[in-house]
Amino acid sequence: MEPMDIVGKSKEDVSLPKSTMFKIIKEMLPPDVRVARDTQDLLVECCVEFINLVSSESNEVCNREDKKTIAPEHVLKALEVLGFGEYIEEVYAAYEHHKLETLR
C-alpha cells in the first residue's frame, strides 16, 4: 500500500504538469545552461513538497483563526511562520498582479 501524504492521495497522484515546470525552469536560466532530466524532475518534486508545506501551514493558520476557508493572508502568514518572510512582499505583489489580470 502506498503512503498517503495528502488527504486521500498517494504521493504518485500529486504532481505538477512537468512540461510547464520544465518550461519555467528553462526560462529562469541563461540560454546556454542545460539541465539534466533527473535534475528537472528533482526540481519539480521540490516544488510539490514546497506547495504541500505551505498549504499545510496555511491550513493550520486558518484553523487557529477558526476559519473554514484558507485566504491569501493565511498563506502569507504561513510563509512567515515557515521562515520565508523575505518573500512575502514579492508574493503579495504577484498576488495583486494576478487579481488585476483576472479582472481584465
| Residues 27-76: tens digit of each pLDDT | 999 999 999 999 999 999 999 999 999 999 999 999 999 999 999 999 99
Q: What is the C-alpha separation between 17 and 34, in angstroms, rounded?
A: 20
Residue type, 19: S
Specify whether domain 15-103 bears CATH 1.10.20.10.
Answer: yes
Per-residue burial over 64-75, b if 16 or more Cβ lie within 10 Å, else e, is eeeeeebeeebb
pLDDT band at 15 (very low <50, low <70, confident <90, very high): confident
Domain regions of the chain by residue span: 15-103
pTM value > 0.75: yes
